Amino acid sequence: MPPKVILAITSGPLEGHKFEFDQHDTFLFGRRSNCHARITDDPRVSRHHFILEANPPDARVRDTGSRNGTIVNGVKYGGREKHETPAQAALRPYPEVDLKHGDVITVGRTRLLVSVETPPTCNHCGMEVPEEELGAAYQATETYLCHTCRTTPIESPPAVRQKAVVCSQCGKDTSAEIGSGRRGEYVCQQCRNRLMDDTNGFRDLLRSAAGKSPTADKPALDGYTLGEELGRGGMGIVYRAVRDYDRHPVAVKIMLAKIAVEEHARKMFLREVEIACRLEHPGLVKIIGHGSVGSAFYSVMELCPGGSLSNLARRYDRGAPLQIVLPLMMDSLAGLEFAHRKGLVHRDLKPQNILLTGDDEPQAKIADFGLAKSFAQAGLSGMTATGGVAGTFRFMPREQLTQFKYARPVSDVWSFAATFYAVLTRCCPREFPENRDPIDVILNSHAKPIREYRPDIPDAVADVFDRALLTDPSARYQTAGEMRENLAYALR
């Protein structure tokens, strides 16, 4: 039985409405038609007032630049003072609040009660009690004993307790950090920061998780020898490596879960990655192997020594030449089309995720296919909408906030076009001023026509970009295949 986050509207125009989340999702509150709870007759409600992200049993609310602020348990977050302009108010940090059971959110006349339901656990061993066993497991003290603990003699009745989750690195109790309802393998934030700062941190993490001494002269990952770091991002670190049995060069990506890793989440992610391993296409980076150790997850991929589109873009102050970029677009669009035909969606396309071979005429390949989507759907990435990094926001279509859990090919089309737009112009399709919340930009701004930055781009090619970057998903190319056909026609 998965945990749930429940929002019950207890007063206001939508009193009686209830919203339940049993998987990673977002919830928008405001006046606009794309809000999940739309309030049109309260002047204290802004167009997009707040966004709530649920990753059960966790939840977080973020005021999205509202005029009157979002009140949580009587404390106001966000909003503007009477003397402030919107730009002045936006200079303050984006106000986010982690929510717990019983919290109350107030906006104007509307009050929302937050409830968190977590699966019952055995009072003795701390393991989850299956739903079908709840009746037999129930005790008079309103606690539960699982089948194993009921049938195994114990010296004395167990005291009521909650099994603590400790950091696998430093051993400290992390209950306050991860919140109630989480169990499993976990690395605390302090140790996570230390591992990211230490050149050998992730190598040592793999060794210790596998029961090896961090200082032992043994490979961090059995079967592979890790070399230099190739890059890092919000999901983890990528290393150059060699496969030990044949010395074949590969790349190894190591990702560290941002929540306590329960077995059902681990199995869900690994099952999804297994599907991605079957993808074989010249326009996709091949995933050779994968696995997990403790709270770390790794994937072994083919090595692309030519770097990424991000590296390519940095070589040109005013944007990369069309004659270089357009063939790379066709390469990677073919790979994206292949994956879309297989029913798969990437969800995290950006310049860092399109890699180049090291040939004289490099070929483009899409990397990390399905990893971000699967990591997020398993809940392992923590909060990705409210806690997202700027680099991801810049290539995110609006519906990824308004329809978070429904990943579709049409969203990849927007992110793909935004990626190559940035390579050609050194700008993002939307402007992200420093004094404006990036979530507000995504929800309320549109892409600029590409010829505003690159008037030398032929009209037919520009039309392909402009259509792919339309805010309304139904007006875009629906798949990578449709976009590739139109781009090929424009290049004739």
Which residues are identified as catalytic? 348
Q: Measured in whole angstroms, how far is the alpha carbon of residue 455 from the centre of its chain? A: 35
How far apart CA 430 and CA 445 sit, in angstroms, is 7
Q: Choose among 218, 185, 186: nearest CA to 204.
A: 218
Other CB atoms within a 10 A radius of the CB of residue 405 amount to: 12
Beta bridge pairs of residue 256: 296
Q: State how far the Cα of 103 lies from the Cα of 6, in Å rounded to an integer.
A: 11
Tokens of 363: 């070929």
Residue partners of 488: CB distance under 8 A and separation at least 6: 330
Distance between CA atoms of residues 364 and 334, nearest Å: 10
Cβ-proximal residues to 327 (8 Å cutoff; 6+ apart), any chain:
none
Distance from C-alpha of 452 to C-alpha of 427, rounded to nearest angstrom: 11
Which among 86, 80, 79, 85 has a CA at the least distance from the CA of 106? 79
Q: Distance between CA 370 and CA 379 in Å, rounded?
A: 14
Specify the 3-state DSSP secondary structure of 25: strand
Q: Which two tokens stand for residue 334?
A: 């073919």
Q: Where are the alpha helices (DSSP H) in 405-479?
A: 409-425, 438-444, 459-468
Q: Residue 11: what are its φ and ψ, rounded to 5°?
A: -160, 160
Put the strands of the sheet holding 104-107 in their side by side order: 18-21, 4-11, 110-117, 104-107, 70-72, 75-77
8 Å CB contact between 171 and 165: no
